Amino acid sequence: SEHDERRKLWKAAIKVPMYTVAVTPILVGSSAAFAETGEMAWTRVLAFLLAAVAVIAWLNISNDVYDAFTGIDRNKKESVVNLLDGKVHGVHLLALAFLGVGFTLFGSLGRPFDADGKYDWTVVQIMAVCVFGGYSYQGPPFRLGYLGLGEPICFVTWFLTVCAAYYAQIDTSSTPLSGWALVWSALNAPRSPLLFSAILVALPTALILLCSHFHQEEDDRRAGKRSPIVRLGTLRASYVVVAACYLLFIFPMIGVFF
């Protein structure tokens, strides 16, 4: 029936499985911190999870908005904009509301640097870089996804999200370093749990984005979007996917044996 069809379209538009990419870096980054400190602040994990889900909702909805502006989603029935009869500005406001909720929660994850009460904005700063990366993928005037840069942006963004989740768990009052310096030090530590964890989250997430382009090759080509699938063709792009899958097994072995 028409009702059942519309329900299926809304389910596809919401993209529930997509929200696992919000949960995974938070749990993995927090676990990397736990491996070093033996402590886990679960209230901070929950706050970060809720913030990340809100940001992914913003990313998902705003992508439909920007695709509506370019017309690339004209034939995409499961677009949120199309499901709401083209009310693009209302959908855009909804996306921004989710983003506001996300940053409010990120702000709650800061800690005072010292006894003077200077606030530690490192988590907010890292996530601001990530959100800018997400915006630059589809948002004007950048639209870097149209240049085939979506996958590198995705990798960097999720790599940094793992770092932010790690940092949110560290009590900097008991460490000689804080801020970005602490994150950099953790990434450069021998057999760094943070480094390998971040790579093992970022790489498959970028792969998910790459694979999502396979069925859109014709629409992307028509709209002038130079996605990796358009640039490489489906056959060569499939080789890239296979090679990346092998890397997912090689990296843990490097961490364990070297």
Mapped onto helix, strand or coil, the DSSP state of residue 236 is helix
Backbone angles phi, psi at 112, to 5 degrees: -65, 140
Query: What are the residues facing 112 on neighbouring strands?
Result: 119
In angstroms, how far is the first alpha carbon of the chain from the final one?
Answer: 58
- Report the alpha-carbon distance of residue 10 to residue 60 in Å, rounded: 13
Beta bridge partners of 119: 112
Length of the chain (residues): 258
The DSSP secondary-structure symbol of 72 reads T
Q: Tell me the two tokens of residue 109.
A: 């994850």
Distance from C-alpha of 80 to C-alpha of 58, rounded to nearest angstrom: 12
Query: Can you state the percent helix, strand and coil of the chain, rounding each to 5?
Result: 80, 0, 20
- Residuewise pLDDT in 10s, the chain (258 residues): 666 666 676 666 566 777 788 899 999 999 999 988 899 999 999 999 999 999 988 888 887 777 766 666 565 655 666 565 656 677 788 889 989 999 999 988 876 555 556 778 899 999 999 999 989 987 888 888 888 888 899 999 999 999 999 999 988 777 788 889 999 999 998 888 899 999 999 999 898 888 887 877 777 777 677 888 888 888 888 898 899 888 888 887 877 666
The structure tokens listed for 253 are 């072995």
Using CA atoms, how far apart are residues 195 and 202, in angstroms rounded to an integer? 11
pTM: 0.85
Q: Are 234 and 214 in contact (CB under 8 A)?
A: yes
